[in-house]
A and B are shown apart, each in its own frame.
Chain A
Amino acid sequence: MFGLTSCRLAACSTGAAIMPRMKLAHALIVKSIAETLLVAGLAVGFYVSAFPPTYHGWGEITPDGVAGWAVNSADTFERLEVQLFIDDKFVAGAIANQSRPDVVAAGWAGDEWHGFKFSSFSVPQGAHTARIYVLHRSSDGNRQTLQLLGNPLDFAPDADGRQIRPLRF
């Protein structure tokens, strides 16, 4: 079945043996390229599935908490789930479904219901960092991932603890 050429297991140095080796080298290169593309495609596919690049949003410090908006540009009517972390610890979760007319006016969303606000949390005196993440489920719910919306927000509560103020803009 395979007996087509004259070059057998023993190394041969004839010209007839060089062509098969060249073909083998070419086949090995092609196989390597195919595997590289396969692995790269899988890696990118996995990343897009686990961390969709279509999530956009923003968070900001307000006097009574943290507010912002979150939109999936692949489905501009989807209500995204967001989570607030302060100093890397989970504080609260919410659905971004509050009115934000400015978001739809800016062309980010299909309707205005993409806002969120976290206000009922208390933190001790001193500087803190808040991060807003959007939650994404993939692999039939077997996997959940978080993506940061906007930038980390540094803040500190006032002396009486009733209001918070941003530490930088």
Chain B
Amino acid sequence: MTEVDHSNLTNRAIAWWEIVSIVTSCLIAEWVIFAFAGRSKLIGAAPVVLALAFMIFSHRQRGESLKEIGFRFDNLVAALGWVLLLTVVVVVLIVVTGWVLKKGSFSFAVPRPRFLLIIFWALFQQYALQGFINRRAQLVFGKGIKSILLVGIVFGLLHLPNPLLTVLTLVGGVLWAAIYQRQPNLFALAVSHTIVSITLALTLAQDVFYNLRVGFKYFG
């Protein structure tokens, strides 16, 4: 019979609670805010600010440095090595899928100025997903398949009810989580996330991914 480590159990419980709390904030922003307050950016920012404030507080309480979280350059090249291979494969798959679906009459959408901001949005998403959720998942399950799968499931869940985007982000979340556990570098992941997002936006977003809409916004 093994001895139960109550402090470890509590630590895991708190980590679980932190994951659920951040996911809840995201779901509130995606589903509740848009349903009740429409496109109000001020109200929409409330759960995001709450989540961000909590994540920063949690990092401070757990003594995590920016470097540990993944805001670092010392392993950028190594992380990019992993990430770029994956990114090239995904980009080729997206373009080929677009070619097949459009039966050869493939064309790129017109790039928009807001694409320049995607890198920041991608960095924020990767920070929340890997720098926080992944790290807390590791507190619950340790490094490995369980925590990686949890990150993927969370990322997919946050892209419901867009069916194909949910599947794509689940797979992407798993792959990025696996890379993060090997080389925790958020900049490299943000670059990959940005390239995939722009490729999707330019090729399949309108026809297959319903303009990448998620949450309540998906319905109109």
In the complex, how many angstroms separate the beta carbon of A1 from the nearest chain B beta carbon?
Answer: 5
A13 touches B8 (CB 8 A): yes
- CB contacts between A and B, total, < 8 Å: 104
In the complex, how many angstroms separate the beta carbon of A164 from the nearest chain B beta carbon?
Answer: 41
B66 within 8 A of A: yes
B36 touches A7 (CB 8 A): no
A39 touches B7 (CB 8 A): no
Number of interface residues of B (CB under 8 A): 41
A27 within 8 A of B: yes
Tell me, in angstroms, the Cα distance from A31 to B56 when the chains sit together.
Answer: 13
A19-31 CB contact bits vs B (8 Å, 1 = yes)?
0110111011001
In the complex, how many angstroms separate the beta carbon of B104 from the nearest chain A beta carbon?
Answer: 41
Secondary structure at chain B's binding surface: helix, strand, loop or mixed? helix
Chain B residues 8-67 with CB under 8 Å of chain A are 8, 10-12, 14, 17-18, 21, 24-25, 28, 32-33, 35-38, 43, 46-47, 50-51, 54, 56-66
In the complex, how many angstroms separate the beta carbon of B207 from the nearest chain A beta carbon?
Answer: 27
Tell me, in angstroms, the Cα distance from A27 to B25 when the chains sit together.
Answer: 14
Tell me, in angstroms, the Cα distance from A45 to B66 when the chains sit together.
Answer: 39
In the complex, how many angstroms separate the beta carbon of A158 from the nearest chain B beta carbon?
Answer: 48
A18 within 8 A of B: yes
Q: Which residues of B approach A to under 8 Å, CB–CB? A: 5, 7-8, 10-12, 14, 17-18, 21, 24-25, 28, 32-33, 35-38, 43, 46-47, 50-51, 54, 56-66, 68-69, 135, 138-139
Q: Which residues of A approach B to under 8 Å, CB–CB? A: 1-9, 11-13, 17-18, 20-21, 23-25, 27-28, 31-32, 34-35, 38-39, 42-43, 45-46, 139
Apart from A13-B7, A32-B24, A42-B36: 17 A-B pairs, beta carbons within 8 A = A1-B66, A2-B56, A3-B65, A7-B61, A7-B63, A8-B63, A9-B139, A11-B12, A13-B5, A21-B10, A21-B14, A24-B58, A25-B14, A25-B17, A27-B58, A28-B18, A42-B33
